[in-house]
Amino acid sequence: MQHHSPIAAHAASTGAVLAARLATLLASGVVVLLASLHVLSPEFDPAVRVLSEYATGGYGWVLSLLFVCWALSCWSLLLATRSYLPTRAGRLGLWLLGAAGLGQAMAAVFDITHPLHDLAGALGVLGLPAAALLLSSRLARLPTWSDHRRLLLVSAHLTWLSRLLFVAAMVVMLVGYTRAGDRLTPDVIALAGYANRLLVVLDCAWVIVAAWPLGAWRRRAHDRASSSSSRAQAQGVQA
């Protein structure tokens, strides 16, 4: 039977920690890029226009970079947590997270004017909340995430609730728009754009909450101390 040494186990842990930190940084970068688009393209009314419409402005490349960071944050979280999720439900959640990342990567290449943009949106919009619910319910049972269990579960549920809010805001806006004779009058309740941006922020918040416990500096220092102790014990046995 093959046994894994403490040093090999520590190396695997190092990869997971680095991936978790990368997921945190990338998800934070998405929020920063989203905020920058409001400054760079003020001609897009955030109450009415959805995120993907920035592709038709002068800073479409910033939107593409946003989607790339979003995709990479999901894939980094996948790499960070995959060894903690050996169950069938956990693996399904990882596949869904990978599919959501694929949708975001596709959105970076196929903008709102391309027929494949709808497919990209479906993968991201549907895949991420399903992944968040499956993965969070499993991770919350593990010691690494025990101190953040409630926050992890709440952030996971906020991902699908943000979808419901966006759909409701879009319906209210379209109904008001139709009743106003296809005009955006002051009577039209236009909040769909804000709901769309909130969706993005809450998705990134879940990625950060899920990755943070694994990539935390304090935990990393504890792991180094544990690894040093394990190596010392292993050398003592060999002696």
The per-residue pLDDT for range 184-222, each reduced to its tens digit, is 888 888 899 999 999 999 999 999 999 999 987 545 444
Q: CA–CA separation, 104 vs 99, rounded Å?
A: 9
pLDDT values of the chain reduced to their tens digit, one per residue, 239 residues: 334 334 333 444 888 999 999 999 999 999 999 999 999 999 999 999 999 999 999 999 999 999 999 999 999 999 999 999 999 999 999 999 999 999 999 999 999 999 999 999 999 999 999 999 999 999 999 999 999 999 999 999 999 999 999 999 999 999 988 888 888 888 888 899 999 999 999 999 999 999 999 987 545 444 544 444 433 433 443 44
pLDDT at 233 (0 to 100): 39
Q: Where are the domains of the chain?
A: 9-226
What lies within 8 Å, CB to CB, of 189 at 6+ separation is 172, 173, 176
Residue 230 has a pLDDT of 33
Residue pair 38/98 in contact by the 8 Å Cβ criterion: no
